[in-house]
Every structure is written in structure tokens, then in C-alpha cells.
Amino acid sequence: MALERYLTLYNRFAGELGAGATAEASLEQVAEALFCTERNAKLVLRKLTEEGLIDWRAGRGRGNRSHITFREDREKLLLDLSRQYAEDGEYNKAFHLLQTFGDGTAANEKFMDWMSGSFGFRKQPGKEADVLRLPIFKTVMTLDPADFVYSLCSHMIQQIFDRLVLLEQSTGQIKAGIAHYWEHNEDATVWTFHLRKGILFHGGQELTAGDVVFTAERLRNGGKRNSWIMRSLRTVEAVSERIVRFHLVRPNWLFLKYASSNVMAILPAGLMGQSEEQFWKKPSGTGPFQVEEWKDGKLLLGANPHYYQSRAHLDQVEIVHVPQAEAVRAGMINWQQLICDPTLRDVTAENGWIQIESKSLCTSLLSWNMQRVGPQHSDEFRRITNRLIDRSAMIRELSGYRDFPAKGFFPELMAVDDPAEDCLEPEEARRLLLEAGYDGAPLFLCAHPGHAEDVYWIQERLRRAGIQAEVRIEAPYTIHEVLHEVDLLFHALVFPEEEVSLIEGCEQEGSYLKELMSPELSRWTMESFDRALASEDPSIRKAIYTAVEERLKEEQQVYFLLHMKFHTDYHPSLKGVRINSLGWIDFKDIFRTS
């Protein structure tokens, strides 16, 4: 606290003068800078003087001013204190300190260089423990399966919790999870699961059918974002300690895939006797990793020694939240390239590195806010705007992992002879906009920082045609708060399981698709999905999904932009590296051979 107060006074009074400089500072000004009373300001000045950080000479008598001399270099002190916070695991404090006091110094860059050297594989000091420390540029907003939205949170939930059944990514087959056997009635309205014996929560208690009942009831009755998944549940019952039965209002031939979703990760009944707030500080699941610590920008996971599907090779995984702006400014490479010793940074095939890509894709979209008054309520305006965005040019000019133009939710690889996109040149677009009655009203275009490059590219395309679009970059956890002020939103969907993920994207509370489309269109999509779930025939379901997609395209409610694959690079000394359907690497099977 003393050092932070020193830095506060340094910024206020020393400025460009630097360490060793003497500046005029009245007691009243010191109190104002520290947001305290003059009495407390005297105590702070005395403390800083005793610690040798400042010299304070109080002016006595009328006309005699007080002076403060700063003895320590701000940059060195700031760097030392930030490192100390980081070593204590208080990363949020470290970054806050640098952002508050770092202007005009190289402390930020030096700290990020130091941080970068701490990522990758490590042996825990004094132990034969394998530790993987990774930086992430987004916030783990929740570990609650009933309340997550983003794929990052879903991935972390998947490391901590388990589901009744698992969807095998490579084959699309359902395999045993917590349940070792399952069955259903003739019309798929009753589903029964038989649970394994001996599965333990991280707290030590054995999982039973009561925990499954609690999880399902909490999803249905808890008013959570992901309550959509239990929308057709009539009742759920524990037939015995090892048998649980779901009774549905209407047929659901995809219920096994619902049961494999991270949304239905099984929680302990009653949250182990804790309140919601207490439990989610250190949640307990049955997954391969257990939460050891989650605070101050750090999520520390330890291997679950009792995991029923074999123990993880790693002993610990430490996830560190690095603000994206700081990471970009420091030129930090992607976390995917830090799953090895940080000395192995020359990521090229010639140096032995291996690149893999995911089978699943991320699809980027633009959604109009039809709840807000604006030119987007003109069908012709929306059509013209869509034709202004040349997907092929976007891929060509922005490069990266933008793979191919999207024609819908589900990826369709473009054939060589596919016709070129029907795009508009700016002058032609200006003429059509004038004919459509567009009056030049400005638009607010929003995205989170990870999509900033894309939205600025789109802004420039619109500008050339005379459409003024003001870009608003919001953190993922604040976008929902400003959605009513936004006309056009750039977002992306990951489809770990195509059918269920599409339904989730349109029905989840807080989903951008659901929140921005008209209420009538939202009702129609839900009715369409109910018809799809009632059909055992995959081709009939696919036809219904196509109809939903076509209507969204026809009404220009959503613009499908690009499909992107997930990639990672790793050194051959690493084994067990696979990209999961969420675009992340599952930690459980990674190990190092040298």
C-alpha cells in the first residue's frame, strides 16, 4: 500500500522531473491526490519518509511552501512491485498497477517480457510435478454450466465437470461417460440412464442419481442462461441410486446429444451444502481437473487423482488472464504456441514444430438489432449492406486463419467452380442506397476486442459507400449491457456439435442471435426446432435447419461472413496434443517426452 501511495504522489507531483527531483506540494494537495483527509495525509507522508521513499519538508509560516523529494525511480519500483504481485498469483493487481502508473515508462513492456518467459511447461520447484502455465486474453467469466455463453468458459467447465455421456469428435458417436448404459421408449419421450459406481466429486462424495436430478431441476427452474436445454422436461426422477429417468413433454431424438453437452455437466446435489456464491468460488465436479484457486486473474487447476477415466499426465494447469491490449502491445504470441518450453519459440516446420487444425469451425456473423429504430428496418438497406461486404477480399486482406466464406451456419467447403460473390462496388451501392431512401443516418457497429480487426475492415467498406458506421469495442462481459445502443453486432459461433449448437445459438438466454432477432422470428425458430427434435430421421432434421438458415438469410437478419478453423503449433517433444471441438486443447492427455 505504501508503494502504491508513493507511485500516486510521484505521478501527481514528480511528473517529468523523475526520481531525485523536488517538487512543491501543499498538504492539501497531497490529501487531494490520495483521496483522504489532511490528517491521514500526514500519516502517509510520515510512513513514506520512514521507509526512505521521500523527503518531506513542511513549509512553516505564511508564504513558505512545502516540498517533497522522490528518492526512488518510478519505473524500477513499478516493475518490482508488479512482479511481486504476479509471483504471489495476484495478476489482476499487477496489471492494474501497470495500467494506472505505467504511462511514460517502459515498465509495461519489461513486465510482459518477464511474464512471457514464465509461460509454458515447468517442473514445480522441489517436486517432480509437471505444470503448464498458459496466458489467455479473455476472461473466464463463469464456471457454471447453467450460465456460460463463451467457448472459453465451456472448455474450462469441460476440464472440471463430466456429463452423462460423451460425444466422440472423430466419429460423431455417443460413448459412455458418467452413465455406462442408456435406453429410451418408442417415441423418445422417456430416457433412462444407468450410472457408473464409484465416481467421486472432488470433495470426496460419491455421485448418485440424486445429483443428476438436482442438476436437471436447477437448469429448468433456476432462470439460467442455459435453461433452454430443459425446456421440454416434464419430470426427472431417481429410480434408484444408480438409475435416473427423464420424462419429456415432447419427443427429443437428440436427447443423448443434449446429455453430452457441457450445459448438462453434473453438479453435486445441494452444491455440497453451500450457497451459490460460496460454491462457485471453488466449484467441485467429477472431471479430470479440480479447482485449486480461482481469483485475481488466475485459475489454478490440479489433477483429480481419483478420475474414473484415468488420471491426467499434468499435475497442474495455471491459466493467467493477460489483458489483450497489453499482450498485443508486447507482441506476445498466442497461448497455443506456448505449450512448450519458452526457449522453443521459433515456430516453424523446419525447426520441427507440428501444426494441427480442428475439424470443427468457428463461424463469424453480423446480426442486425431489430429491436432498435434505424435504417436496418428497410429490407433493401440490409440487402445492399450485405452485398458491400466482399468475403473473399476480407480473407485476402486480413489473412490469418480466416479460411473461406460462410454460406450458412454449417460449413460448406467451396468448390473450385463456385460462382463469385455478388458484391457491390461503392459507387453502385451509393446509387442503390439513394433509391432505397437511406438518409445517411449513422450506425453503431459493435464487437469485442478479438474481432476489432474485422469490424474496422467492415467500417471502411461501409464508409466508401457513404454509410457512416461508428465502431464500438466492448469487452465480452459488457456487450450485453450496451446491446440496446448497438445497430449491428459482429460475433462468432463455435459449433462443437452442429445440431445442438445451432439450437443453443437461437434459444440461449443472452444469445446474440436470439436477443437481436424479432420476437416473431424467435418464436418461429423455436417451433421449427421442436419439429426437428421430434424426427428420428436426420435428413428431415437437416431440412428444417436449412429452412431456418434460409429464412434468416432471406430476411437479411443475419449475415454469414467467414468460417475459421482452429490451429495450434506444438513441438514434437509434446504428446497427446489434440484440438477439441471448442477450439481448445484438452489438458488431460498432454505430456512431454523430454
* pLDDT by 10s per residue, the chain, length 594: 788 888 888 888 886 666 777 888 888 888 888 889 988 988 989 898 988 888 898 877 655 678 888 888 888 888 989 999 888 888 888 888 888 888 878 888 888 888 877 777 777 766 778 888 888 888 899 999 999 988 889 999 999 999 999 998 778 899 999 999 999 999 999 999 999 999 999 999 999 999 999 999 999 997 899 999 999 999 999 999 999 999 999 999 999 999 999 999 999 999 999 999 999 999 999 999 999 999 888 999 999 999 999 999 999 999 988 877 666 665 555 544 444 433 444 555 555 677 777 667 789 999 999 888 999 999 999 999 999 999 999 999 997 778 889 988 877 544 444 455 578 999 999 999 999 999 999 999 999 888 999 999 999 999 999 999 999 999 887 888 899 999 999 999 887 778 998 999 999 988 888 888 888 999 999 999 999 999 999 999 999 999 999 999 888 889 999 988 777 766 677 788 787 878 788 899 888 876
pTM: 0.84
How many helices and strands in the chain, by DSSP H and E? 20, 22
Question: What is the rounded distance in angstroms from the CA atom of residue 42 to the CA atom of residue 36?
Answer: 10
Classify 400 in phi/psi space as left (phi over 0), alpha (psi -120 to 50) or beta. Answer: left
- The helix (H) or strand (E) run that includes residue 388 is helix 379-388
Task: Identify the DSSP state of 585.
Answer: B
Burial of 22 (0-12, 13-18, 19+ CB in 10 A): middle
Question: What is the rounded distance in angstroms from the CA atom of residue 393 to the CA atom of residue 239?
Answer: 58
C-alpha cell, 240? 434408484
Q: Could you tell me the CA-to-CA distances from 153 to 144, 437, 477 in Å, in that order?
A: 8, 44, 12
- The helix (H) or strand (E) run that includes residue 75 is helix 74-87
Q: Is 398 helix (H, G, I), strand (E, B) or coil?
A: helix
Bridging pattern class, strands 316-321 and 130-136: parallel
| Residue 146 C-alpha from the chain's centroid | 15
